[in-house]
Chain A
Amino acid sequence: MTMLCPAFAFCLPESLAFQPRARLKKHMAHTPTQEAARTAASVPPRHEDLLVQVGTRRDRAAFRTLFEYYAPRLKAYLIKNGAAESAAEEIVQNTFVTVWEKAAQYDPKKSAASTWIFTIARNRRIDALRREKYVEIDSDNPALHLAASDAPDDAYADAATVEKLHAAIETLPADQAALLRMAFFEDKTHQAIADETRIPLGTVKSRLRLALEKLRGGMALRKKTQGQAHD
């Protein structure tokens, strides 16, 4: 069974929930520093708030909560993408060391915690497995931040607007969602997907194209050619 499973999870409304609430609550019971962040209804803090606490207060309990949620998932993702057990463990460690070091730069207005952690894990994975540095867009260079701040209200990846995207994903038929996952996140060639799924190569390509077109439509992006790529 696939680890990252049922790409069909794409299609489940539940998959919108980033935080497993029961699990978070368990850890929250021991973290008085986070009590303030909880509402009267004892809603667990959002991962974004935890990450901000790590950045601003060096809050170890918040850090641990994030670790306990993301570490096993990241490890599963890494192993699924070809890392050996020991290498995956090492990359998870490197990822969380970087999360701690960079947490002060995290801006919840610009990205969801899950997206931010995912990009760090992706970059650490390439450092480790390919022995090369991934070109990171958000370096510490002010020139790049200038470009990012041009459209702060339009940021696509903050926790609230990410849901819009997920809604688009959920409209994808399961077969298209599964192919997307294989093509883009498991880095399989179209031929390898065709062999594995026993779907003819031409069908694989046309379904991927359909899926991408739907995502584009769902992201409320104007259908445009490359030549008109500006907003």
Chain B
Amino acid sequence: MADPGNTYSDLTLRLHALRRKIHRLRAAYGIPVYLSLQLALFTAAALLEHLFRLPPFGRTVLLLTLVCGSAGACFVLLLRPLADALFSRNTPSDDRLALLVGSRFPDIRDRLANALSVYRRTGPGTSHELAAQALQTAAGETAGIRFTGAVSPKEHHSRLKRAAAAAAAALVCWTVLGEGLFSAAARIARPGTAFTRPAAFTLAAAPGDTLIMEGASVPIRAEVSGRLPDELVLLAKSESRPEQRYLLGPARSYTLTGIRVDTDYRIRCGRSETPWYHIGVIHYPEVRTLQITLTPPAYSGEPPRTLARDEGNITALKGTRVYLRAQTNKPAADARLQFTSGRSLKLQIEDRVLSAVFSCEQTDSYRFAILDSMGNANLSPVSYTMTIRDDLPPVADIVSPAKNIDLDESMSVPLVLTAEDDYGLSRLTIRYSVQSRTVNDTSVHRCDVPADLADEPMYRNVTWLWHMGNMRLLPEDVVTYRFEAWDNDAVSGPKSGLSAPYTIRFPSVEEIMADIDRDHRRQTEDLSSIADQGRDLQRQLARAAEALKAGRELQWEQQHNLANALQEQRQTLAGMDSLRTRLETIVDKLEQQNLLGIETLEKYQEMQQLYRDIASPELEEAMQKLQQALDRLDPEAIRQAAGQMQNRQQELIDSLDRTIQLLKQLRAEQQLESLINQTNAMLREQTGINEAVSTQDGGDPNRTADREMQLGADAAFMEEALQQLREDLSALNNMPPGLLDPALQQLRSESLDSLAAAISAQIRESRRSEALTGGAEMTRRLERLQRLLQDARAGMQSASDGRSTGAARRIAKRLLALSLEQEDLEAEGTAGTIDLAENARRQWSLKHALEIEADSLADLTMQAFFLDPAVARSLAEALSFMDNAVTLISQEQRSAADLQRQALASLNRSIVLVLRSLQQMARNSGQAGMSAMEQLMQGLEQMSLEQMALNRQTIDMLNQGLLTQEQQAVMSRLAAGQETLRKTLEGLMRQFGERQEMLGSLDRIIEDMKEAEEMLRAGSGDPELVSRQQQILSRLLDAQHALRSDDISHRREAVSARTLPQPSPPSLRMQNEEIRRLLDQDILRLSKEGFTGDYLELIRRYYRSLTREHNILRKLQKEQP
């Protein structure tokens, strides 16, 4: 058995180790527990103070409690375990430790503790061996047991957890109520101090005083603590605005936006408010005032002008100098003008004043770029426009002639020109080019128009005679010219404006002849219409005379119509001067072109005389008398004047007819002459072509070939013209048929155009020898044609001369015979060797015979232009004297001898005139004929006149009451006259049978004539006879009117039409150039009406867009199918 003492020592050592472990654990865990407990105590104390705000006594007690508690906890948890651990104190005791072991190791239970206890109590009364044995047993049982295992750190964990939890709670409290707990702790630390109770809440504003850039926003925030008694209100004020109130919402903030001036603000809650805080504003640099002066370029003549203050938009001419001055709100460190085009112009800076000088060169826009000393730039600078105003080109116009014209012999053209510009003109020119058939020149030439542009340089009206004599123009050359005006633009260079183009043509002889032919035709037509008018008046006169002789008064309408017709004729005849002037123009043209031969000139001179004689003084006097009679409404005066007027009117008509025939004759001759000239020209051209072909360097063969083709075309044209002339000549009855046939035949058979085409092809193919052969043949054919045409001309001359002179001689011979008879009669009448009845009968017979000759002569004067028109007047006088003589003789008045003498004188005068005319006969007498229509018209007119005369004589007879035997004989003669008329009418109807449908009621007229004949033969004095004859006359007149009215086409009908749908014609267009000129003119006009520059610029833009739109529309129209 082991020593019990050792066993006991061992066991106690083992227990001591356990003890040390316990001490260590207690010390180790005691520190954090103590700290946690300390924290919890302290937190609880602070919490208590924070919540209840204890009075000093309370805080004192609390502090003492805290201190005591801390001390106690420190002793228990910290110091004692440390002391135990450091000083190995024997606590807990061995017995407790043994019990602890025994509790930890159930196998041992308390045997160890008992064993130790027993051993220690060994003394008297106790068994030492038992104790030792117990000790030994206990030792043996615990030999494998580690006593330090009886305690573990885990036993301290729960304490530690609780302490940690308390510490955590304390920490949470400190986290949540940190400030309050600190305050409470501070108060606990000074328990004797009486602290005032803090306010319920705190209020502060953020960001406080601040500095911002102009226009920035500032968010104002309220910093509060505690319970707010009221809502938060932000108050803001500035110099420019009174105090404003803003409610801060739940977010306790409000943003002041766009602050431009210094602003003060504070926050108020209930009765509490923060102090005023200040927001300072820093301003951006900006332009405050602007002044611009514009100096236009010198050439414009415009004075400098200053724009309105602060006006920065510039509208000016190109080259205008701009003086700019601006004032800023603060000194600038750098300032420029930034142009949209990219240009940048540095401004001169003098404190707050900026200035610059620059020139307007292009449309642009600019803005100020300013930097202040802090580097702040101006915000959103205004963009100013700089618009270049167009210096418009001038508007040039040709006022006269303002149409395409032909150049006359003076080789000069008077021009009236106007030019207008907005700023001034510098030069006026005529720009022209010459298009020639023979010379290929497309160059453009200019000649200056002299004009003094110093005065009123913006508008010029120039009259200038353009001499074109030195331009070496050839016939058919065309000069295309335009008036060009240049402005005085010294900046961009002068611009020009052009007028509309016109042409001046140098007419060829053929053209002149065609022109003359046209004039001839118009003259003929004019004279024909005058003649028609005259016939209409003649008919009205006849009706009036008939009515008056029948004892009826003229109705108002008749008088009115008569007066109107008379007035119209006077007006028409007043215009004869213009016809004569036109005739003189024709003569001048012919003379200028050396186309006027002596014979032709004499014919024209005769025609001019005819023109003068048409409106003879006698006619004028007769018209005057009639007009006066109509004005006075004097029936007797009207009757007399009408009678006289009728004679003069007939003379007028005859003169007109004669003139017309002469014109037609002349026209035919001119046409033939023109053809001969054309043939000559073709010959010359062919000669030139032959030369060009024969020479080595005869020029461009294609050009020569073209010339030959043109010649062939001319030959074809000539054939047509010759055919037309042939038809015209066939209407002239005095022309032998087929006068032009040989020439026409030659043209047709020899096919000049085909030959020309062949020659042209040979020239192009360089087959020179064949071309030369062909050219020679062409020359021969042209020469032959020339001869034939010249022969035709000679034939024309001789044909007209021969027939007319023969007829004139025969008439003269018969007149002479009548004159001898008249002379005998007059002598017998004077001698009284003849009784009145015989005298009257013979005089009447002579008169009748003279009437026949007068008619023949009237017919001849239409054809024989060499006859003096005075012949007809003399014959008419003779007839009148004879007629009056018959009347007087019938009334048994001896004074008839005087009349007979006068009749003789007139008759003799007529004969003399005829003979003289024969002697002075013009070489170009001819017998002009009339177209079928004209013949028909004339036939009807002649019949009307004769019927009129017949009616008058019938009325005269019937008015005399009971008819004497002589008068009945007269009636028989009248019946014969009526029969003659009827047969003539029947002849007309046969001749113009194809036009019968146009003549309508001629059959009825013939029937009426037959009835009138029978009544006349019966010697009936029935008034029905007069009515019947009047009816005949009316129907004849109506037939003429129907002819005239129907004129060309018999298909004219006043038939109501059916609707014919059709598409609309295309839209009307104006030429671009026309529009541009109109717009430029309008703009020029508007610029003078005082519109401001900007408004004028708007107008210009509008017009420009109009032009663009028109161009687009035209383009679209062209593109449309």
A binds B: no
Binding site for B on A (CB under 8 A): none
